[in-house]
Copies of this chain bind each other. A is one copy, B any other.
Amino acid sequence: MVKENEPCGGLEWRMNMPDGSSKVLEPECISESRYCRALKGLFARFVSTIWGFIRKAWNLGAAEPKKVMHCLKVGMALSLVSLFYYMRPLYDGVGGNAMWAIMTVVVVFEYTVGATLCKCVNRAIGTFLAGALGLGVHWIACQSGEKFEPIILQVSVFLLAAAATFSRFIPSIKARFDYGAMIFILTFSLVSVSGYRVEKLFELAHQRLSTIAIGASICILTSMLFCPVWAGSQLHNLIKNNMEKLADSLDGCVADYFKNDTEKAQDSNKVMLGYKCVLNSKATEESLANFARWEPTHGGFNFGHPWKEYLKIGASLRSCAYFIEALNASINSDQTAPDFLKDHFSKFCIKLSSDASAVMKELAVVISTMTKSSKIDLMIEEMNSAVQQLQDAMKSLSKQPIASSVTGIATIVEIVPLVTASSLLIEIVARTENIAKAVNGLAEKAEFRVESDTKTKESQNQKVITEEHKGDKKTMMTLEK
């Protein structure tokens, strides 16, 4: 090998250019060392890509340690189930069918307990139904002679697979039994088709069911006993967080509009755009609510907790978020109202938005503490009186022209942005009342506790913030205002 930077035997070819400069022609040995450098560069880029990927993954893991825990749980469940292979007495019990237990663990183990339970139940029902039906069809095929047997089996596979596939398009089945329908097709095909060859069908069915039961129970135990992630709690927290984000966005938007340009802080942008998460959370909410139904009692949630009410709250949050989007856009538009008008309106608008966001935050506390609030009605009344004040302010504009040192009287075109923002704010208040109604519906159906009198007095000076610490143990922190 030629070492880098070493002249290639001292010989040099030089080419003189017309402009007086000269260029050294590179002999092969130097270009070879170039290849080395290019290779090194490639390798360095590869390493840096990998390193970037690892760092990204590390950040993800640090941000959500529950996800890392889930990965370890999957590894643990697989190690547990693979013991069936290594331990002679266990292996002799289930034989080569231990494969199905591994497959069950890999396919069924999901992030939340509810999703895991849903898949387990689906897999068990699908396998059992299809197995029974497959054995029935196999028996009928056996009775009808050797000639018709494959025909009957083929036709039955075709018809049932088509019917089960069609059922997966029906929304009510898709929501709950999509996986079960797939397992049904799989098991029915395997049983009815392999029945043609394998003689000991009953034994096969029995072994398959028992290995699936082993895999499923390992999954359920692992997911429920070690740092369980409940779909219900996730949904509960998602709704609560979305409500807080909405409140912060509303506050941020309105405050930003009435601030002077110099006061506007760049870092408030992230808070202001929090409502965007709410716009796109429908699918997540629906799947979480769907899985939460399967979960047993945990934390403060009983089996049969009214999860559908959370979807209603989510829908009302979203319909409020649409208006915040509209408000945000109209605030960022080119048209701006003259400053003296802004000053006139600012206190009413800021009062209204802070009232509305206080209601939302109180509702978030209601949800997170699962306690009915005694002051929410008062707060809504106050919010509505703020609406009245804003409307009065608009009325006063028409009656007595506002004096300004420069323009004298405001024209209609000048007040358009303010009128639009104000009426959007009023719409947001109406939406906030809808959110309150939806939360009230949840509080009634889930039988939230009623705040005790002593607590009420305390809560006027203190704000209760609930944080979920490790699992579902809830620690109450009281922060002085």
Contacts and interface: CB of A to CB of B under 8 A. Distances in A.
Interface string A120-131: 000000000000
A61 interface: yes
Contacts of A394: 412-413, 416
Q: Is the interface of A mostly helix, strand, loop or mixed?
A: helix
Contacts of A72: 162
A424 interface: yes
Contacts of A78: 157-158, 161, 185, 189
Contact of A182 (B106, B196, B399): B106
A246 to B, nearest CB: 14
A391 B411 CA distance: 12
A154 B77 CA distance: 11
Interface string A313-331: 0000001001101100110
B416 A82 contact: no
A68 B166 contact: yes
Contacts of A227: none
A318 to B, nearest CB: 8
A190 B99 contact: yes
A96 B196 CA distance: 12
Q: Which residue of A57, A78, A430 has the most chain B CB atoms within 10 A of its CB atom?
A: A78
A420 B426 CA distance: 11
A397 B415 CA distance: 12
B165 A71 contact: yes
A61 B166 contact: yes
A437 interface: no
Nearest to A431: B329
A326 B424 contact: yes
Nearest to A91: B197
A262 interface: no
Interface string A16-60: 000000000000000000000000000000000000000011001
